[in-house]
């Protein structure tokens, strides 16, 4: 769906702009090129929207909002996908089958994000084991922390993408069953196979370290690394691992185990 591509493109642009608070002239030129490209995609999407959501203007309080101003910031332009409308509005605005198409795309995107999340968490597990066994000295520790940070960023990105895809899926398919296979992802659920949930005391300690500027590298993760991840702690595994398979001896579960 064109709207999904626009949302992803805008998100990446927003992240890049936020990271470069003092962009160079060349970077500003690149941003401008991307703004223009996104605006063209939005215009193409509006043309498609007129065909597949012909009643959209009739359900909006201000239908002129679809006539996007040339001065509007592209990152803030609302697309008005079916998931952004109420059930009654969708019935009036959309052609038959349009909502189901978005639901399928959202389900696929959320499933892919969950796969990415599991893969990043496995990487974090192996990186942590490697760091403990092989890293000593300030210089090597700094490089290892940089690697760990890059993985933590990917974990956060996958988590955010999953939530952003699941929310509209629930709105579109509340009773259709798709959202039941993709559960709500809480921060405590984002744990590797060798991590347990934090106690309330540990959460308070992390908050205090963050507030006083004494945050450690391990404070970036949602869980606490433990030894012997598959022993007594198996009963407390996050649901994200059991969504792969309910069989603890399945190949998918073995792929995430510590060796």
Q: For residue range 133-189, what is the model confidence (pLDDT) as tens digits? A: 776 666 666 777 788 888 888 999 999 999 999 999 999 877 666 666 789 999 889
Higher pLDDT, 92 or 22: 92
CA distance 84 to 79: 9
Residues 245 and 194 in one domain: yes
Quick one: average pLDDT of 191-197? 80
pLDDT at 34: 85
Regarding whether 77 and 193 lie in a shared domain, the answer is no
Better-scored residue on pLDDT, 233 or 191: 191
Three-class secondary structure of residue 174 per DSSP: coil
Indicate whether 104 and 188 sit together in one domain: yes
**Torsion, CA 80, CA 84, CA 86, CA 90, rounded to 10:** 50
Domain stop point among 77, 96, 115? 96
What pLDDT score was predicted for residue 247?
A: 47
- For residues 131 and 212, membership in a common domain is answered with yes
Write down which residue in 54, 79, 96 finishes a domain.
96
Q: Are 91 and 104 within one domain?
A: no
pTM of the complete model: 0.75
Residues 133 and 24 placed together within one structural domain of the fold = no
- Residue 225: predicted pLDDT: 67
Residues 65 and 118 in one domain: no
| Residues 6+ away with beta carbon under 8 Å from 237 | 191, 193
- Cα 65 → chain centroid: 28
More confident of the two residues 96 and 248: 96
Domain termination residue (choose one: 68, 96, 124): 96
CA distances from 93 to 12, 60, 89, 123, 133 (A): 29, 10, 6, 44, 59
User: Do 42 and 111 sit in the same domain of this protein?
Assistant: no
Asked if residue 196 and residue 165 are part of one domain, the reply reads yes
- Of how many residues is the chain composed? 259
Judged against a pLDDT cut of 80, whether residue 99 lies above it is answered with yes
At 116-133, the pLDDT tens digits run 999 999 998 888 788 777
CA dist 30 and 179 (Å) reads 38
Percent of all residues in the chain with a pLDDT value above 70, rounded to a whole number: 68
Tell which wins on pLDDT, 204 or 7. Answer: 204
Q: Give the total number of structural domains in the chain.
A: 2
Which of 64-68, 134-138, 240-244, 247-251 shows the lowest mean pLDDT across its residues?
247-251
pLDDT tops 60 at residue 49:
yes
Residue 53, pLDDT score: 95
**Which pLDDT does position 69 carry in this prediction?**
82
Average pLDDT value over all residues in the chain: 78
Least reliable range by pLDDT among 35-39, 74-78, 115-119, 234-238: 234-238
Q: Provide the residue range defining the domain that includes 225.
A: 100-256
Cα gap 185→196, rounded to integer Å: 16
Q: What's the CA dihedral at 228, 232, 233, 234 to 10 degrees?
A: 100
Residues 145 and 214 in one domain: yes
Q: What pLDDT is attached to residue 163? A: 94
Instruction: Check whether residue 81 and residue 155 sit in a common domain.
Output: no
Same domain, 148 and 88: no
């Amino acid at each position: 769906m064109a709207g999904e591509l626009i949302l992803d493109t805008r998100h990446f642009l927003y992240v890049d702009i936020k990271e470069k608070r003092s962009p160079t002239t060349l970077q500003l030129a690149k941003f401008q090129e991307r703004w223009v490209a996104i605006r063209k995609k939005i215009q193409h999407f509006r043309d498609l929207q007129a065909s597949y959501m012909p009643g959209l203007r009739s359900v909006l309080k201000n239908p002129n909002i679809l006539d996007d101003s040339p001065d509007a910031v592209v990152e803030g332009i609302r697309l008005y996908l079916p998931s952004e409308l109420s059930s009654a509005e969708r019935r009036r605005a959309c052609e038959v089958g349009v909502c189901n198409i978005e639901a399928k795309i959202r389900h696929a995107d959320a499933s892919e994000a969950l796969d990415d999340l599991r893969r990043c968490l496995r990487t974090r597990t192996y990186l942590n084991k490697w760091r403990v066994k092989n890293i000593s000295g300030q210089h090597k520790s700094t490089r290892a922390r940089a690697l760990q940070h890059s993985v933590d960023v990917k974990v956060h990105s996958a988590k955010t993408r999953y939530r952003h895809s699941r929310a509209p899926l629930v709105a579109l398919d509340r009773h259709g069953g798709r959202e039941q296979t993709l559960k709500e992802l809480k921060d405590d659920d984002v744990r590797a196979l060798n991590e347990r949930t934090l106690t309330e005391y540990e959460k308070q300690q992390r908050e205090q370290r963050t507030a006083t500027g004494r945050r450690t590298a391990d404070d970036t993760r949602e869980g606490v690394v433990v030894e012997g991840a598959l022993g007594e702690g198996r009963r407390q595994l996050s649901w994200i691992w059991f969504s792969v398979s309910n069989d603890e001896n399945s190949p998918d579960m073995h792929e995430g185990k510590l060796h």
